Amino acid sequence: MRLLERLKRSLLKTRTAVSIGKFDPELLEEKLLAADFGSDASDEIIEAIKKIADKNNWKEAARKIVYESLIMVEKPIRYYKTPFVMMFVGINGGGKTTTIGKLAYQYNQAGRSVILAAADTYRAAATDQLEIWAKRSDAKIVKQPEGSDPSSVAFDACSSAKAKKADIVMIDTAGRLHTNENLTRQLVKMKRVIKKVDEDAPHEIILVIDSTIGRNSLIQAEQFDKALGLTGIVITKLDGTSKGGIIVDIAKELKIPIRYIGFGEKIEDLKAFDAKEFSNALI
């Protein structure tokens, strides 16, 4: 099945959740809010529909509003340097490791050489999981024993990529430590240490957000952004939720580029974010 078809199918739950027969502003607003579109977007959608003569075309009007919000954050990654270093951050279970694995596969298919850094040294299983993805995508992996300094793993991976002239480095980080402050401190340090290899690096700091956790993700994103300065977002698990409208809320509130969306556990279930495609699939 084509990727776009897979995306559309994975958004079925959200699409169904906001579908109504005849246009009824109150009912639609209730449904949009329940699907996490957020109150601003919901208001704008309802107002836009009220202005059109033929209410049977309400979906078209709604899609246009959604598109206008999403196009503002449709900014693909610009690979302006090699090795191009990307740090992936986010709370545990959000989908960092899976996203890195899927991306490694796409880069490999595109003929780019990839090094993965197993910088989640908090638990041994994290490195094992990344190693499986590395094998699937023919990527190299840089790792150290459990409990090692994650910054040191990131440094090694960047140095090795420079020496081997690799195209891409993706750094997998921990989602949970003993405390949140520990995690933030560790990530800030990692960012600083990477700069010893290339002062422009990391070229991307990407927050991976689980779409099923709803509006909590906005608070998390603000915290990560404050500590690290995010360059992009990946939104995952859009297949498992009827609240896919959260992506519109995230776009409007955070204004951080959405780089990719994840919509399944398979290696191909990741797509560069496309505002047009997405707004059509959402409603």
Ligand X SMILES: Nc1nc2c(ncn2[C@@H]2O[C@H](COP(=O)(O)OP(=O)(O)OP(=O)(O)O)[C@@H](O)[C@H]2O)c(=O)[nH]1
Which residue lies nearest Mg ion, judged by its C-beta? 97
In the complex with ligand X, which residue's Cβ is closer, 236 or 279? Answer: 236
Q: Which range touches ligand X (CB under 6 A), out of 22-30, 88-96, 160-168, 198-206? A: 88-96
Contact call for residue 97 and Mg ion (CB under 5 A): yes
Which position among 126, 161, 171, 213 is part of the footprint of ligand X (CB under 6 A)? 126
In the complex with ligand X, which residue's Cβ is closer, 37 or 263? Answer: 263
In terms of Cβ atoms closer than 10 Å to its own Cβ (0-12, 13-18, 19+), residue 207 is: buried
All residues at 6 or more sequence positions from 68 whose CB lies less than 8 Å from its CB, including other chains: none
All residues at 6 or more sequence positions from 91 whose CB lies less than 8 Å from its CB, including other chains: 175, 176, 210, 220
Nearest Cα neighbor of 269 from 105, 135, 131 is 105
Would you state the structure tokens that stand for residue 66, as one six-digit string?
A: 């959604």
SS3 205: strand
Q: Give the total of residues touching Mg ion (CB under 5 A).
A: 2
Which position among 44, 167, 239, 277 is part of the footprint of ligand X (CB under 6 A)? 239
Residue 92's binding partner out of Mg ion, ligand X, none, with CB under 5 to 8 Å set by partner kind: ligand X
Q: Which range touches ligand X (CB under 6 A), out of 72-80, 106-114, 158-166, 260-268? A: 260-268
Nearest Cα neighbor of 213 from 88, 71, 95, 73 is 95
Smallest separation (angstroms) from ligand X to the CB of 38: 21
Q: Which range touches ligand X (CB under 6 A), out of 31-39, 48-56, 65-73, 233-241? A: 233-241
Contact call for residue 263 and ligand X (CB under 6 A): yes
The phi and psi torsions of 281 (rounded to 5 degrees) equal -80, -25
Contact call for residue 173 and Mg ion (CB under 5 A): no
Contact call for residue 237 and ligand X (CB under 6 A): yes
Q: Which range touches Mg ion (CB under 5 A), out of 93-101, 140-148, 201-209, 217-225? A: 93-101
Residue pointed to by tokens 């601003």: 40
In the complex with ligand X, which residue's Cβ is closer, 239 or 249? Answer: 239
DSSP class per residue in 52-111: -S-GGGHHHHHHHHHHHHHHTTB------SSSEEEEEE-STTSSHHHHHHHHHHHHHHTT
All residues at 6 or more sequence positions from 94 whose CB lies less than 8 Å from its CB, including other chains: 175, 208, 209, 210, 236
Q: Binding residues for Mg ion, per CB under 5 A?
A: 96-97
Q: Binding residues for ligand X, per CB under 6 A?
A: 90, 92-98, 120, 126, 175, 208, 236-237, 239-240, 262-265, 269
